[in-house]
């Protein structure tokens, strides 16, 4: 069932768990995440970066594929189709394409411009029944061409953006896209708690979910994080399983070169890590 992410995340805040956003790249990714959500009776958010949208030939293709797949696979759990780190223009494209949720990432603008653009998009998204995420501070590292310095969000700026009526908020707290470096300082829980104190029950989003230790994930959830984004880890599981298949020479046996066989171990790898994350985030049986 394609829905906005508002209700599932409000329920997550009340229930002290988080819903995973898993970024999709193609049919295998989408099918793996949807089936795993259904098997675990978990709500789920499919994240689409602008780069991945382009790769899949555009947001209209993505929306059509996701809607058709939800129907043909009989997916009954709540599914949100969400633009990840959207530009102003990208948000309008996804609104038109039939997404159920958008993220406007205005974190690289001065706060006044971030506020102005977020405010406009909140009104447009809500008129369409869609949910909207905004960002303050920035996520370190790089995600599909979006590069951030990793500034810790100013809690007062978070409050200003929260007051615009966004449905959930990404606040930079030392989190990084991609693998964490050896000398990573960890999440800044003081900043998270300070923001939470000002914004109340508005769901907080933790980007850069790959490689954050379990105890930090649990603490972040206890401090109001209700959505956790995972991208790189699915890619790494897909890569490792595909590499193993080829290194074992399975592609050379019989019809092992058939793409449906060649991509199957990677597909199963994604299912395995998505299930693991749903268990860790506490969203199993919360559909
Ligand atoms: P990772 O690639 O580090 O898991 O981050 C994903 C993310 O935050 C998507 O917005």
CATH homologous superfamily for 6-231+264-281?
Aldolase class I (3.20.20.70)
Closest residue (by CA) to atom 9 of ligand 1? 229
User: Best mutation site among 18, 23, 25, 47 for ligand 1, i.e. most ligand atoms within 8 A of its Cβ?
Assistant: 23
Q: What's the CA gap between 256 and 42, in Å, rounded?
A: 33
The CA dihedral of 66, 79, 147, 107, to the nearest 10 degrees, is 130
SS (H, E, C) 76-133: CCCEEEEEEEECHHHHHHHHHHCCCEEEECCCCCCHHHHHHHHHHHHHHHHHCCCEEE
103 CA → ligand 1 middle, Å = 13
For the chain, the structural domain boundaries read: 6-231+264-281
Locate 202 and state its tokens.
């508005």
Q: What's the CA gap between 8 and 37, in Å, rounded?
A: 13
User: Is residue 188 annotated as a catalytic residue, yes or no?
Assistant: no
> Is the CB of residue 259 less than 8 Å from the CB of residue 2?
no
The CA dihedral of 139, 142, 82, 32, to the nearest 10 degrees, is -120
285 CA → ligand 1 middle, Å = 24
User: Best mutation site among 209, 228, 280, 281 for ligand 1, i.e. most ligand atoms within 8 A of its Cβ?
Assistant: 209
Instruction: Give, in degrees to the nearest 5, the angle at Cα 80 between 137 and 82.
Output: 40
> Is the CB of residue 211 less than 8 Å from the CB of residue 180?
yes
Locate 118 and state its tokens.
């977020």
Helix residue ranges per DSSP H, the chain: 6-15, 27-39, 50-55, 59-72, 88-97, 111-127, 155-162, 189-199, 214-222, 232-247, 259-262, 264-281
Closest residue (by CA) to atom 1 of ligand 1? 208
Q: Would you write out the chain's pLDDT as a tens digit for each of its 287 residues?
A: 999 999 999 999 999 999 999 999 999 999 999 999 999 999 999 999 999 999 999 999 999 999 999 999 999 999 999 999 999 999 999 999 999 999 999 999 999 999 999 999 999 999 999 999 999 998 888 778 777 778 899 999 999 999 999 999 999 999 999 999 988 989 999 999 999 999 999 999 999 999 999 999 999 999 999 999 999 999 999 999 999 999 999 999 999 999 999 999 999 999 999 999 999 999 999 99
What is the pLDDT, as a whole number, of residue 140?
82
Helices 264-281, 214-222: inter-axial angle, 10-degree rounding? 50
């Amino acid at each position: 069932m394609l829905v906005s992410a508002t209700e599932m995340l409000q329920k997550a805040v009340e229930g002290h768990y988080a819903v995973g956003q898993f970024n999709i790249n193609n049919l295998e990714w989408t099918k793996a995440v949807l089936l795993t959500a259904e098997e675990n009776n978990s709500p789920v958010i499919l994240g689409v970066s602008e780069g991945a949208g382009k790769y899949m030939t555009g947001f209209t293709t993505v929306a059509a594929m996701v809607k058709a797949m939800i129907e043909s696979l009989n997916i009954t759990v709540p599914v949100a189709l969400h633009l990840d780190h959207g530009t102003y223009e990208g948000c309008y494209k996804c609104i038109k394409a039939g997404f159920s949720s958008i993220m406007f990432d205005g974190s690289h603008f001065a706060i006044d411009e971030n506020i102005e653009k977020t405010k406009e998009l909140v009104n447009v998204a809500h008129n369409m029944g869609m949910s909207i995420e905004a960002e303050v501070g920035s996520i370190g590292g790089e995600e599909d061409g979006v590069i951030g310095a990793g500034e810790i969000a100013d809690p007062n700026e978070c409050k200003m953006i929260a007051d615009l009526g966004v449905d959930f908020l990404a606040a930079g707290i030392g989190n990084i896209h991609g693998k964490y470096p050896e000398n990573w300082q960890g999440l800044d829980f003081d900043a998270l708690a300070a923001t939470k104190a000002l914004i109340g029950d508005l769901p907080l989003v933790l980007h850069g979910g790959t490689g954050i230790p379990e105890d930090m994930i649990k603490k972040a959830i206890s401090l109001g994080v209700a959505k956790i984004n995972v991208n790189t880890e699915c890619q790494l599981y897909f890569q490792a399983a595909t590499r193993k298949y080829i290194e074992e020479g399975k592609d050379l046996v019989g019809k092992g070169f058939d793409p449906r066989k060649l991509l199957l171990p990677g597909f199963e790898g994604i299912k395995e890590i998505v299930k693991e994350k749903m268990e860790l985030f506490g969203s199993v049986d919360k559909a």
